[in-house]
Amino acid sequence: MKFEVVECGGEWIVRREGQEVARFGAQDEALNDVAARLREADASQPASLSMRYQRRG
């Protein structure tokens, strides 16, 4: 299971396997959501988390 948290326009988007599953206004809310999803997941399957931050200009 692959999770990704993406910063975009002031929002934090949670994606699983490339599909958006949630949106949050704060990074910690997005990370807490992923943590809850991982706790409920099948522990025998591999899981990963990546973060993408918006470019600062």
Task: Band the pLDDT of 6: cuts 50, 70, 90.
Answer: very high
Residue percentage of the chain with pLDDT more than 90: 82
> What is the structure's pLDDT at 30?
98
Distances (CA, A) of 11 to 4, 21, 25, 35, 50: 13, 13, 5, 18, 16
Q: How many residues does the chain have?
A: 57
Cβ-contact 48, 3 below 8 angstroms: yes
Helix ranges restricted to H, the chain:
27-40
Report whether pLDDT(57) > 90.
no
Report whether pLDDT(27) > 80.
yes
Q: Report residue 19 as tokens.
A: 């599909």
